[in-house]
Amino acid sequence: MTASPILWSFRRCPYAMRARGAILLAGQRVELREIVLRDKPEAFLRTSPSATVPALRLGDRVIDESLDIMIWALERNDPDGLLEMPDEGWQLIESNDGPFKDALDHTKYAVRHPEFDPVAERQKAAGYLHALEARLAAQKWLCGDQASLADHAIWPFVRQFANTDRAWFDAQPWPALIRWLDGFTEGAHFAQIMPKYTPWVEGDAPVWFGAP
C-alpha cells in the first residue's frame, strides 16, 4: 500500500497557506502535521533539507518548496485551470517571492533587520502592490477574467503585508487590491485552509487535510 503524502505545515506561514490552498483546490488528500517553529520535531528536520515549512513527503521523495507543492497538486488535478497562466503570471510570482517578500520581511521584522529603513522598505513593497492594483483595476484577477496560480500564490503574502498595519494598508489608493484580498480572506476557502491544529508529536493519529 502506498503511503499517504505527508505535509508539514505551520498555520500562519504564507508559504504553507498557499500550499494547503492548492492541495484543497486540487482535491488532494494529505496527512497534515502542524509544527511549532521554535520546537521543530526531529522527524520534520529529517524531511526538510531547508528546515522550513511547508515540506511534502511523497514516499522517498520530498518537495521542499511551496510553489512546487502547488504545482504538484494542480498537475494531478486542476479543475479551475489555475495552471493555464500566461508568462506574466510567473513573473508576478517571481517578484512576489523575491523583492516583495524581502521588503515585507524588512518591514514586518524590522528589529531583525536594523540595516534596513522599515519606512523605505514598506514603500518598496507598496510599489509592487501598486502594480497589482493597476492589473486588478482593469480585470477581476491578476492575469485576466479567470483566477490563476498567480492569484493563489500571491494573496497570502499580501495578507501578511496588510496585517503589519491594516489601518495604513486600507488607507492606500488600491481599492481593487483590497477587494481582491478580501475576496480570499472572507471566503469559505480561507476558513477551510486555516483551521487550528494541535502541533504534531510522534505517535499521534493522522490528521487528514484536503479531499475526504
Mean pLDDT across 104-123: 95
- Residue 27: φ, ψ to 5°: 65, 30
Q: State residue 124's pLDDT score.
A: 98
Q: State residue 142's pLDDT score.
A: 99
- Cell 479531499 identifies what position? 211
Provide the whole-model pTM: 0.96
What residues does 6 pair with on adjacent strands?
A: 31, 57
Residue 90 vs residues 18, 21, 75, 161, 173: alpha-carbon distances, Å = 15, 18, 16, 20, 25
52-111: per-residue pLDDT in tens?
A: 999 999 999 999 999 999 999 999 999 999 999 999 999 999 999 999 999 999 999 999
Spell out the domains of the chain, with CATH numbers in brackets. 6-80+191-210 (3.40.30.10), 87-189 (1.20.1050.10)
12-58: per-residue pLDDT in tens?
A: 999 999 999 999 999 999 999 999 999 999 999 999 989 999 999 99
Which of 21-25, 108-112, 139-143, 162-166 is predicted least confidently?
A: 108-112
